[in-house]
Structure 1
Amino acid sequence: MDVPPDNEVLWARALHYTHDDGSPALGGVSLGVAQGEILAVNGPSGSGKTTLLRCLSGLTRVRHGEVWFNGVPVHTLGPLARERLRRDRFGWVDPTPVLVPELNVWENTALPLMLRGTSRRRAKVAAQEWLERLDVGDLARMRPHRLRQAERQRVCIARALAPFPTVLFADEPTAPLHRADRAHVLRTLTTAARSHGITVVLASHDPETAAFADRTVAVLDGRCVKTVHLPPVGDTAEGRAACSLSV
């Protein structure tokens, strides 16, 4: 069995996954993600992006292949251990915003922190800070049903960032947002990640979204076809050289 490189917080080898209906989702994906890197997984709908993120994060148990996080073999962990790993070290943003309807906005945002044992007061302060960064601070006392979908998605992103996860998995995080809002939200997310050393794995079919990443892995029919290194957003220098990724 290969040993994951020391400088990669996430490492996967030969991931294969087939849906319950028999349709293939992943066909031998191998990749590594460095600490603090923002990696975009780019590809059309149905290409395997979401399945890859779910396997890397432990949401879906790998059937064939290996997934390692900081030297821990995620593919061998049981359900409870994977749940603890997701709670304590990972953040997740879905394309459809899901919030607890009985809680208001700041309570939803603070929930992951309180589940980790943070006091209600400290969790509220941290939640409010992230809500302000995402321009929804004035909605802190509202219940989710009173928010527009785009506002709920901003709250979900704040909730994912508030605990400062080691790795943030974002599956089409700007899908519910208006085009004019996407750049601001992505800039907030990526700036926060870089300033706090958060590793981000970002799935998107949109090249403009992928442009905010440090590197892009293109996925087609469950296979990585290439990985492209991109300059930071706003950098006028030419992009870094592209390199192929074997699968």
Structure 2
Amino acid sequence: MVAPPDNDVLWARSLHHSLGGSPALRGVSLGVRDCEILAVSGPRGSGKTTLLRCLSGQLVPKEGEVWFNSTPVHTMSALARERLRRDRFSWLGAEPQLVPELNVWENAALPLMLRGIAHRKAKSAALDWLERLDLAPLARKRPRSLPHAQRQRVALARSLVAGPTVLFADEPTATLHLTDRAQVLRTLTTAARSHRITLVLATHDSEVATLADRMVSLVDGRRVAPADGTGSGTGTEGRAACSLSV
């Protein structure tokens, strides 16, 4: 194994993976700098979700390496990868996937409670993020009583509440209307910068990708040069401007 560059918080080399017998990743390599917002673009079926799942330790690639700082994620045990996802990573998908038995603030506070954070402190942190997302009045409601856009904002609060080192966002606005989409994206990218969270954002929407520091493109599981010629580096040129607040 070759250790990753010191300035990359995430680093992947020659990732190969198949799903259902079909190649999903074919030799993808990339690096992500600390506090960078990296967009992974490409059409549906290009391998974006598989790449994010490999980077986050949800999947172990058939071939290749994934490093988080100086830790080889691809050689970790399943339990160690689960702890890494609990303690250092966060995930936001296109569907909220909230726990129906929990109310809104409990869903938002769930990552903290899983870490053993005191109930009062976890609730306070959850309510803070819900307030920023205009959801505080709904804190005691159950997810099933909310429209989809509000449930997705609860999921966004949950993904940010614990201050992850890396947040993986897989098409987080794909199912939202324009206004809701703008609010989620604005909060997601601004929070990443102000809280020094590295954000890996998968999208097939070119407008979404423009919010990132850098973009890499996938087609049929391979990394390709974007049409505008940007994003050809390996994690060394992201601006990582972390001065905004949310």
Aligned to 1:5: 5
Tell me the distance in 2 between the aligned counterparts of 1:228 and 1:242.
8
Aligned to 1:195: 194
Tell me by how many angstroms 1:22 deviates: 1.1
Structure 1 SS opposite 2:225 = strand
Aligned to 1:237: none
Tell me the distance in 2 between the aligned counterparts of 1:165 and 1:58.
14
Tell me the distance in 1 between the aligned counterparts of 2:135 and 2:174.
18
| Structure with more contact order per residue of length (Cα contacts < 8 Å, sep ≥ 6) | 2
Aligned to 2:144: 145
* Residues 18-62 of structure 1: CA deviation (Å, up to 9, x unaligned): 11x211100000000000000000011000000000000001111
Tell me the distance in 2 between the aligned counterparts of 1:29 and 1:72.
19
Tell me the distance in 2 between the aligned counterparts of 1:196 and 1:243.
24
Aligned to 2:161: 162
Aligned to 1:106: 105
Tell me by how many angstroms 1:173 deviates: 0.5
1:40/1:204 contact within 8 Å kept? yes
Tell me by how many angstroms 1:153 deviates: 0.7
Aligned to 2:241: none
Structure 2 SS opposite 1:65 = strand
Of 197, 216, 232, the match for 1:244: 232
1:217/1:228 contact within 8 Å kept? no
Given residue 75 of structure 1, which amino acid in structure 2 is its aligned partner? H
Tell me by how many angstroms 1:176 deviates: 2.3
The aligned runs of 1:40-189 (5 Å cut-off) are: 40-189=39-188
Identity, % of aligned positions: 66
Aligned to 1:33: 32
Superposition misfits of 4+ residues, deviation over 2 angstroms: 226-229, 241-246
Tell me by how many angstroms 1:139 deviates: 1.0
Structure 1 SS opposite 2:25 = strand
Tell me the distance in 2 between the aligned counterparts of 1:135 and 1:175.
21
Range 1-10 or range 159-168, more displaced: 1-10
2:215/2:230 contact within 8 Å kept? no
Structure 2 SS opposite 1:28 = strand
Aligned to 1:233: none
Aligned to 1:17: 17
Tell me by how many angstroms 1:3 deviates: 1.9
2:214/2:230 contact within 8 Å kept? no
Tell me by how many angstroms 1:228 deviates: 8.7
Over 3 Å counting, the alpha-carbon distance change for 1:99 and 1:52 in structure 2 is same
* Residues 71-93 of structure 1: CA deviation (Å, up to 9, x unaligned): 10000011101000000000001
Tell me the distance in 2 between the aligned counterparts of 1:201 and 1:132.
25
Tell me by how many angstroms 1:243 deviates: 5.3
2:12/2:66 contact within 8 Å kept? yes
Over 3 Å counting, the alpha-carbon distance change for 1:228 and 1:30 in structure 2 is farther
Tell me the distance in 1 between the aligned counterparts of 2:227 and 2:5.
20
CA RMSD of aligned residues (A): 1.5
Tell me the distance in 2 between the aligned counterparts of 1:15 and 1:9.
17
Query: Structure 2: where are the runs of 5+ without partners?
Result: 235-246
Query: Structure 1: where are the runs of 5+ without partners?
Result: 230-240
Aligned residues: 234
TM-score of the superposed pair, with normalisation by structure 1: 0.91
Tell me the distance in 2 between the aligned counterparts of 1:204 and 1:191.
17
Aligned to 1:234: none
TM-score of the superposed pair, with normalisation by structure 2: 0.92
